[in-house]
Homo-oligomer: A and B are copies of this chain.
Amino acid sequence: MHSEKITGNIIVGQSGGPTAAINSSLAGVYQGGRELGAGKVLGMLHGIQGLLEGKLVDLSEKITCDLDLELLKRTPAAYLGSCRYKLPDYKKDPKDYDRLFEILKEQNIAAFFYIGGNDSMDTIRKLSEYGELKGSPIRFIGIPKTIDNDLEITDHTPGYGSAAKFIASATKEIIRDSLVYNQKNLTIIEIMGRHAGWLTAAAALAKGNDCEGADRIYLPEKNFDKEVFLKDIAALQEQKQSLVIAVSEGIHLADGRFVCELSDKDFYVDEFGHTMLTGAGAYLSALAKKELGCKTRAVELNTLQRCASHIASHTDIEEAFEVGRRGVMAAAKGVTGEMAVIKRVSDSPYLCTYETHNIKQIANMEKKVPMNWINEGDDGMKEEFIRYARPLIMGEVMPVMVNGLPKHLDYICD
């Protein structure tokens, strides 16, 4: 594999929502470019949207030493900035494509890397198809990234492990916090994930010798029943006074209505006439307070789920780096229209290898939590999930602490 080299420059962009690991993939692409003899490693600012406006940066000017590369791996969000720009169908509207390929030619680009989720993989699919159509030698490779862990084919997605580690740690800490008062109390932790429950399922990892874990876990893969929920909680409260429940923001009733919409539409309209984005957690907390009369609270884990790099998973950060680096190696071998994927060899000891896979079987798809990993009550995770997820949160990435806080690579976007 080491005989292939990159001839010319390479370019890399980031797209979609931030994660704690996406910059490690950027570091991996940079490192891959260096190893394989690429000329410049260019970054597009704010993804293809910025590229269309010619907004480029030479990464070697930003990453000047090994420490910079390590800081980049420890910097959350998207160092190059992001976008949510959907390329049109090139058959109907090739304008963007002509412009992009013109810029890529001007910049002597041999390979193009896009780090992102489902939508970003659609961009890679379209660009590689268009490139093939035009006989372009440019290689287009997708690098997976999303805290949602909902990409097909790859065993898991870089970004998920760190988000899961934060969620599980926070859940442990919140459970402790809920134990202090000597009265019945119910905490609802609301976790990201509109359609796929991977993040919410991570609350199950909190359970251990020192923690009873979340008492119930509700994923969007299953229908949620308010009456069953209330009866269940009431019964559970007879056994223990402090309950902690994890719910996905996307839980919904059997008729398809989101639980968070119940509150929006029925009773949370703000003074400006907008429906408020009151979440599933706040709704269930209010409902339980009324129906069960106990002290309740809702805790939304919020933005930190995707940017808490201070408690990143070592496994995740290193894998994110490696999918970036492997993407460049694949491009050097002539691969195009594929995404770097992680393939699990074994759970224990945890072992993964890397491959690339046809982007058409990945773009725009959505991988959900397998139904047979959810327990029979539809309110918790089976051991199969724990075996899958535990390795992904293992290991620590020591932040570089300066003045008492994690240091990040200086930013270039504003």
A residues sitting closer than 8 Å to B (CB atoms) are 14, 18, 45-46, 49-50, 75-78, 81-84, 165, 168-170, 172-174, 176-177, 179-182, 187, 205-206, 208-212, 240-242, 263, 266-272, 274, 276, 278, 282, 286, 289-290, 297, 299-300, 302-304, 306-311, 313, 390, 393-396, 401-411, 413-414
Contacts and interface: CB of A to CB of B under 8 A. Distances in A.
Contacts of A270: 263, 267-268, 286
A289 B272 CA distance: 10
A404 B168 contact: yes
Contacts of A50: 182
Given A390-B404, A394-B404, A180 B78 contact: yes
Contacts of A406: 169, 172-173
Given A18-B180, A177-B18, A286-B270, A169 B405 contact: yes
A404 B162 CA distance: 10
B309 A303 contact: no
A306 B177 contact: yes
A172 B208 CA distance: 31
A414 B242 contact: yes
A160 to B, nearest CB: 13
A182 B44 CA distance: 13
Contacts of A268: 268, 270, 276
Given A173-B308, A263-B270, A304-B173, A180 B402 contact: no
B395 A173 contact: no
Contacts of A211: 408, 411
Given A18-B180, A77-B177, A313-B404, A210 B409 contact: yes
Nearest to A55: B182
A410 B75 contact: no
Contacts of A181: 46, 81-84
16 contacts: A18-B177, A78-B180, A165-B405, A173-B307, A177-B307, A179-B411, A205-B404, A208-B402, A208-B403, A210-B409, A267-B271, A268-B276, A270-B286, A274-B290, A299-B303, A302-B302
Given A81-B179, A179-B413, A404-B395, A309 B240 contact: no
Nearest to A75: B176
A387 B302 CA distance: 30
A331 to B, nearest CB: 25
A182 B46 contact: yes
Given A242-B414, A286-B270, A81 B18 contact: no
A384 to B, nearest CB: 17
Nearest to A404: B393
A170 to B, nearest CB: 6
Nearest to A179: B413
Given A81-B181, A300-B300, A408 B307 contact: no
B303 A174 contact: yes
A83 B182 contact: yes
Given A181-B83, A210-B409, A299-B303, A404 B165 contact: yes
Nearest to A302: B299
A329 to B, nearest CB: 27
